[in-house]
Amino acid sequence: MKTAYVLNGPNLNLLGTREPQVYGSQTLADVEALCAQACARHGFALEFRQSNHEGVLVDWIHEAGRAHAAGTLAGVVLNAGAYTHTSVALHDAIKGTGITLIELHISNVHAREAFRHHSYISPAAKAVMAGFGVPGYALAIAGLAELAPAA
C-alpha cells in the first residue's frame, strides 16, 4: 500500500480558532480525520503531520523522497502556510527529491494580501489547489490518486 503524506506548516495547529472567517471552524484533528477517510477511499496509508518549523518540514519532504525512491509513496499534499511565500529551502527539497507534490491552501491566497500571491512552492509542485476550504484536502488526495503511478 502506498502512503500519502499530508504535511502542514506554521499556524495550521490553530485551525478552528485562527481567523475562522478565512479558514473555517474545523480543527486540524478534523482535517486529519477527513484525510484518513479520503486515503481509505483511494487505498492509501496516511502520514499526517504539522510543524511550525521549516527545517522539520524539509526533513519530512526528504523522508517522503526516500519513500518515493522505494516505490512506497503515493505523493505529498503540502499546506506550507506562510512558508509558501518565503521558503526556498522547501522549494529545493521538493525538486531535489523528485516527489509528486500538490501545493494546497485552504483559502484563495490570490484574493488576499499581495504578499500571499507569490509561491516558492508552485514551480516545484505538480499541481496547486486554493480556495476549497478544508474539503480541498480530500480533493488533493483524490488528485494524488489520479497522478500516482500504478502500484
* Collapsed DSSP state (helix, strand, coil) of residue 104: strand
45-84 pLDDT, tens digit each = 999 999 999 999 999 999 999 999 999 999 999 999 999 9
Residue 106 and residue 128: Cα distance in Å, rounded?
A: 11
Quote the cell numbers at residue 147.
497522478
- The answer on pLDDT for 22 being more than 70 is no
**pTM listed for this prediction:** 0.92
- The answer on pLDDT for 37 being more than 90 is yes
Q: Is 25 exposed, middle or buried (0-12, 13-18, 19+ CB in 10 A)?
A: exposed
How much is the pLDDT for 100? 96
How much is the pLDDT for 151? 43
- The answer on pLDDT for 23 being more than 80 is no
| Residues marked as catalytic | 23, 105
- Per the annotation, where are the binding residues for substrate? 79, 85, 92, 106-107, 116
Which residues make Cβ contacts (< 8 Å) with residue 142, sequence separation at least 6?
Answer: 38, 42
Q: Taking all residues of the chain, what is their mean pLDDT, rounded to a whole number?
A: 92
Residue type, 34: L
78-130 pLDDT, tens digit each = 999 999 988 999 999 999 999 999 999 998 877 677 766 689 999 999 999 99
